[in-house]
């Protein structure tokens, strides 16, 4: 959305550009006589300086910047206004009145421009920095200024200094102009080095503008001093170019002020500014030395240049050393965590080439702590040093091994042909790190667990992601026995897997299998137990053992259980309606401990029964022994509420745990399910037989129905029936099966014995 103001501003910028282009064609095409050229040149400065003054004013009024930036732009606008006033004045003096006074009135405005611009540039906002940084910055800026000074001295200040018979006013102005420019160069250097030189185009344009003005000013002063100056000479081109850059800078600042905040930080390119200034200064010196002859000045100058170069080299070397110190681990000499992190960031930002991959390995020494504790820190250090040597020698030249701290190391591998190659390196490292270390008279044995994250994406990934994956993999390697490596796969990540399971519920990837519960006497199917399955899109049909732990740990078990209840009730209600033989079929659904702990459980069950139309009297909820044991009053009330609604409660896996009799009596339990492990002992195992018998008696005493699970043989079925168990479940009778097959089983049961 552009306002009228925006449109006018855009038109002004475009108009200025067009005008300037037309002027350049006219000027460079050498059209018109000298007077016309002078007149036109002087004239065109006026609208351009007017436009940049107005645009700067607009930044101040509407720019939406920080207070500090706005303050800077107030001063810059004032400076711009001085330029504008100077241009108007010059037009009158030079083009209309042909006054040749030097300094001209216009020049006084120019002198005013300098301090305003200087302070304005210095006030531009920049990142907070430390005291040392500020000192370094000032020194660098001073180096730039000193280099510029040498140029100015050669061109302007020197000649003024040695000139005789020049009026004092001219000397003063001719000296003030370059000195002012020097100030501006200083401010500019500070500004450029304080900010991203390439980050903010407006600042670069402003810098370019001021630099062009400096060149023009110096040219102007030089010409005035030696041959006189009239509008239309070459410095005018620099003033005009600078003026246009100012227009662009002000315009650009207005827009960037509304959008992204200022970027801070110093770009590497700008760091070379001081060295550039030194090179420039010495260029002039060398040039002069050639004119001077080698003795005495020439040789001295060469010596001075050499000395400076050496000092710079030394400084750079110290810098390198400091940087190295900051990024190496003192004990092992390997890159430290800071450097490893930068390397990982670089690796993550680099997409893998098609088919190839990068890898990050996190290595944790196993059993390091006991060595440290038992043999002392020196032994620990020896182990770490040995591990560092092993790592360094086991990887290729372009790869990085580093120490993250403690007994944790990292290895970064670039551009390997495939995952297999990564695994081979990991395996090699595991083997190499297993080598015992001789320390004095003891032989120390450490091993390492390695977690590997492979980056084979064709796009950049986040470094944190790689680190997290490697960390998870390392943790898994440690848990599954140490001295091994583990490559990260999504299923190591409980968060990721839980999310996967959650979306499986939503996408309908879970299904229900039904296992009939059979009356052992008649063979009639009296109930079905609903058992969850996951039809995984990649891994095929998964049994509950593969994902229920995860569901329990992450709480996904609650929505999962609710889904199971709803889905199986819906299915069973349909059977009730459709299949005459299933009219009295019970449905048994497992509840996890977490579900039973839910305050709202009776409400949830009631709502599902209501929605599906399945009768409460036909529903059995299975809870485990653990729940029975932990039951508090609230839970008892909750279960009673369920019982009162007509639902029956079964205790699953009975006989494996420690259900106290007292607990059994306290809870409204209608069914006991004899655990499959007891059934498995039948009929041979006497203890199993006695236990099974005891449970069956117990059921009779408490008037509970008893269901035997895991019946795999006809003998087991017979034994249980003889012991008085009425119902059973197991592979001998029926396997759990999909709903479609369960229908058939229901139909066929009548004839079954």
* Residue 676 makes contact with ligand C2E by CB under 6 A: yes
Q: Which of 193, 250, 564, 674 binds ligand C2E (CB under 6 A)?
A: 564
In the complex, least distance from residue 589 CB atom to ligand C2E, rounded to whole angstroms? 7
CA dist., res. 20 & res. 27, Å (int): 10
Binding at 702: pick from Ca ion, ligand C2E, none (beta carbon under 5-8 Å per type) = none
In this complex, which beta carbon is closest to Ca ion, that of residue 22 or of residue 694? 694
C-alpha distances in Å from residue 94, one per residue of 97, 98, 116, 173: 6, 5, 25, 18
What number of chain residues touch ligand C2E (CB under 6 A)?
22
DSSP string, 694-722: HHHHHHHHTT-EEEE----SHHHHHHHHH
Q: Which of 38, 590, 624, 716 binds Ca ion (CB under 5 A)?
A: 590
* Residue 224 makes contact with ligand C2E by CB under 6 A: no
Contacts of 51 (CB under 8 A, 6+ apart): 12, 13, 15, 16, 247
Binding at 564: pick from Ca ion, ligand C2E, none (beta carbon under 5-8 Å per type) = ligand C2E
Ranges within 712-731 binding ligand C2E (CB under 6 A) = 712, 729-731
**Coil, strand or helix at 400:** strand
Ranges within 699-728 binding Ca ion (CB under 5 A) = 709
CA dist., res. 56 & res. 1, Å (int): 21
Query: Tokens 């236990």 appear where?
Result: 691
In the complex, least distance from residue 545 CB atom to ligand C2E, rounded to whole angstroms? 6
Q: How many CB atoms lie within 10 A of CB 140?
A: 21
In this complex, which beta carbon is closest to ligand C2E, that of residue 486 or of residue 590? 590
Residue 401 β-bridge partners: 411
In this complex, which beta carbon is closest to Ca ion, that of residue 329 or of residue 529? 529
* Residue 568 makes contact with Ca ion by CB under 5 A: no
CA dist., res. 53 & res. 109, Å (int): 14
Ranges within 472-531 binding ligand C2E (CB under 6 A) = 515, 531
Binding at 463: pick from Ca ion, ligand C2E, none (beta carbon under 5-8 Å per type) = none
In the complex, least distance from residue 672 CB atom to ligand C2E, rounded to whole angstroms? 13
Q: Which two tokens stand for residue 624?
A: 């485990």
* Residue 710 makes contact with ligand C2E by CB under 6 A: yes
- The terminus-to-terminus CA distance of the chain in angstroms comes to 82
Quick one: which segment of 224-232, 280-288, 466-474, 705-713 binds ligand C2E (CB under 6 A)?
A: 705-713
In this complex, which beta carbon is closest to ligand C2E, that of residue 439 or of residue 514? 514
Quick one: which segment of 20-28, 279-287, 483-491, 538-546 binds ligand C2E (CB under 6 A)?
A: 538-546
Residue of closest CB approach to ligand C2E? 730
For 438-469, b/e burial (b = at least 16 CB within 10 A) is ebeeeebebbbbbbbbbbbeeeebebeebbeb
DSSP string, 324-351: HHHHB-TTT-SB-HHHHHHHHHHHHHSP
Binding at 232: pick from ligand C2E, Ca ion, none (beta carbon under 5-8 Å per type) = none
Q: What share of the chain is helix, strand, coil (3-state, %, to 5)?
A: 65, 15, 20
Contacts of 573 (CB under 8 A, 6+ apart): 612, 613, 614
CA dist., res. 18 & res. 47, Å (int): 12
Ranges within 619-678 binding Ca ion (CB under 5 A) = 622, 652-653
Cα-flanking dihedrals φ and ψ of residue 372, to 5°? -60, -40
In this complex, which beta carbon is closest to ligand C2E, that of residue 6 or of residue 546? 546
In the complex, least distance from residue 624 CB atom to Ca ion, rounded to whole angstroms? 8
CA dist., res. 106 & res. 88, Å (int): 8
* Residue 655 makes contact with ligand C2E by CB under 6 A: no
**Coil, strand or helix at 365:** strand
Binding at 731: pick from Ca ion, ligand C2E, none (beta carbon under 5-8 Å per type) = ligand C2E
In this complex, which beta carbon is closest to ligand C2E, that of residue 72 or of residue 569? 569
**Coil, strand or helix at 91:** helix
In this complex, which beta carbon is closest to ligand C2E, that of residue 152 or of residue 572? 572
Binding at 372: pick from ligand C2E, Ca ion, none (beta carbon under 5-8 Å per type) = none
Query: Tokens 């043999």 appear where?
Result: 375
**Residues in contact with ligand C2E, shown as a per-residue x/- string from 351 to 370 under the rule CB under 6 A:** --------------------
CA dist., res. 51 & res. 252, Å (int): 13
Q: Where does 367-484 show beta strands of DSSP type E?
A: 400-405, 408-416, 437-439, 442-444, 447-455
In the complex, least distance from residue 712 CB atom to ligand C2E, rounded to whole angstroms? 4
* Residue 561 makes contact with ligand C2E by CB under 6 A: yes
In this complex, which beta carbon is closest to ligand C2E, that of residue 688 or of residue 711? 711
CA dist., res. 72 & res. 75, Å (int): 5
In the complex, least distance from residue 469 CB atom to Ca ion, rounded to whole angstroms? 36
Nearest Cα neighbor of 414 from 461, 352, 341, 459 is 352
Cα-flanking dihedrals φ and ψ of residue 186, to 5°? -60, -50
In the complex, least distance from residue 531 CB atom to ligand C2E, rounded to whole angstroms? 4
Asked if residue 394 lies in contact with residue 428, where contact means CB atoms within 8 angstroms, the answer is yes
Binding at 712: pick from Ca ion, ligand C2E, none (beta carbon under 5-8 Å per type) = ligand C2E
Binding at 615: pick from Ca ion, ligand C2E, none (beta carbon under 5-8 Å per type) = none
Ranges within 586-625 binding ligand C2E (CB under 6 A) = 590-592
β-pair type (442-444, 437-439): antiparallel
Q: Which of 407, 567, 625, 652 binds ligand C2E (CB under 6 A)?
A: 652
In the complex, least distance from residue 524 CB atom to ligand C2E, rounded to whole angstroms? 18
* Residue 548 makes contact with ligand C2E by CB under 6 A: yes
**Residues engaged in binding Ca ion (CB under 5 A):** 590, 622, 652-653, 709
**Residues engaged in binding ligand C2E (CB under 6 A):** 515, 531-532, 543-545, 548, 561, 564, 590-592, 652-653, 676, 710-712, 729-731, 736
């Amino acid at each position: 959305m552009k306002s009228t103001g925006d449109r006018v501003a855009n038109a002004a910028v475009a108009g200025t550009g067009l005008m300037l282009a037309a002027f350049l064609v006219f000027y460079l095409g050498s059209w018109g006589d000298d007077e016309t050229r002078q007149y036109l040149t002087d004239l065109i400065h006026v609208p351009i300086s007017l436009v940049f003054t107005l645009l700067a004013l607009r930044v101040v009024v509407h720019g939406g910047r920080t207070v500090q930036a706005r303050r800077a732009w107030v001063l810059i606008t004032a400076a711009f206004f001085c330029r504008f006033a100077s241009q108007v004045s010059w037009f009158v003096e030079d083009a209309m009145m042909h006054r040749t006074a030097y300094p001209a009135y216009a020049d006084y405005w120019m002198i005013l421009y300098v301090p305003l611009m200087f302070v304005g540039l210095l006030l531009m906002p920049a990142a907070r920095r430390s005291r040392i940084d500020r000192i370094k910055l000032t020194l660098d800026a001073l180096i730039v200024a000193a280099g510029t000074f040498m140029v100015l001295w050669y061109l302007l200040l020197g000649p003024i200094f040695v000139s005789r018979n020049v009026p004092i006013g001219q000397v003063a102005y001719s000296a003030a102009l370059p000195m002012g420019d020097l100030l501006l160069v200083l401010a500019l250097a500070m500004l450029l080095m304080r900010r991203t030189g390439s980050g903010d185009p407006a600042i670069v344009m402003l810098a370019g503008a001021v630099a062009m003005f400096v060149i023009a000013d110096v040219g102007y002063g030089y010409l005035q001093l030696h041959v006189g100056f009239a509008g239309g000479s070459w410095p005018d081109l620099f003033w005009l170019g600078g003026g246009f850059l100012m227009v662009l800078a002000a315009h650009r600042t207005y827009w960037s002020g509304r959008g992204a905040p200022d970027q801070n930080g110093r770009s590497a390119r700008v760091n070379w500014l001081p060295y550039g200034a030194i090179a420039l200064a010495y260029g002039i010196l060398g040039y002069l030395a050639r004119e001077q002859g080698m003795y005495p000045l020439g040789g001295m100058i060469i010596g001075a240049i050499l000395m400076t170069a050496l000092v710079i080299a030394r400084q750079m070397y110290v810098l390198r050393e400091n940087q190295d110190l900051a990024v190496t681990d003192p004990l092992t000499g390997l890159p430290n965590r800071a450097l490893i992190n930068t390397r990982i960031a670089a690796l993550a930002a680099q997409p893998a080439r098609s088919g190839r991959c990068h890898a990050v390995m996190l290595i944790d020494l196993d059993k390091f702590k006991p060595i440290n504790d038992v043999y002392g820190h020196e032994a620990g250090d020896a182990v770490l040093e040995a591990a560092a040597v092993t790592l360094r020698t086991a990887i290729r030249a372009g790869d990085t091994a580093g120490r993250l701290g403690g007994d944790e190391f990292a290895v970064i591998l670039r551009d390997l042909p495939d995952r297999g190659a990564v695994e081979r390196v990991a395996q090699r490292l595991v083997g190499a790190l297993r080598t015992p270390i001789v320390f004095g008279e003891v032989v120390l044995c450490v091993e390492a667990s390695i977690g590997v994250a492979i980056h084979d994406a064709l796009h950049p990934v986040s470094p944190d992601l790689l680190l997290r994956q490697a960390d998870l993999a390392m943790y898994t390697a440690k848990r599954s026995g140490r001295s091994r490596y583990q490559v990260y796969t999504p299923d190591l990540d409980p968060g990721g897997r839980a999310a996967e399971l959650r979306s499986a519920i939503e996408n309908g990837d879970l299904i229900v299998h039904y296992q009939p519960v059979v009356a052992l006497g008649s063979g009639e199917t009296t109930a079905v137990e609903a058992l969850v399955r996951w039809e995984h899109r990649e891994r095929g049909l998964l049994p509950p053992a593969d994902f229920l732990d995860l569901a329990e740990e992450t709480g996904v078990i609650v929505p999962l259980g609710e889904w199971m209840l709803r889905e199986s009730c819906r299915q069973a209600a349909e059977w009730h309606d459709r299949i005459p033989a299933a009219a009295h079929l019970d449905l048994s659904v497992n509840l996890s401990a977490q579900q039973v702990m839910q305050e709202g459980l009776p409400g949830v069950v009631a709502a599902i029964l209501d929605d599906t139309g399945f009768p409460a009297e036909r529903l059995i909820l299975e809870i485990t022994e653990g729940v029975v044991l932990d039951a508090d009053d609230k839970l008892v009330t909750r279960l009673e509420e369920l019982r009162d609604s007509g639902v029956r409660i079964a205790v699953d896996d009975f006989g494996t745990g420690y259900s106290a009799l007292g607990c059994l009596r306290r809870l409204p339990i209608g069914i006991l399910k004899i655990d499959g492990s007891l059934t498995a002992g039948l009929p041979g195992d006497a203890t199993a037989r006695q236990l099974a018998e005891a449970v069956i008696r117990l059921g009779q005493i408490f008037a509970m129905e008893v269901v035997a699970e895991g019946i795999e043989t006809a003998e087991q079925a017979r034994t249980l029936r003889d012991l008085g168990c009425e119902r059973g479940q197991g592979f001998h009778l029926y396997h759990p099966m999909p709903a479609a097959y369960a229908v058939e089983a229901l139909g066929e049961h009548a004839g079954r014995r």
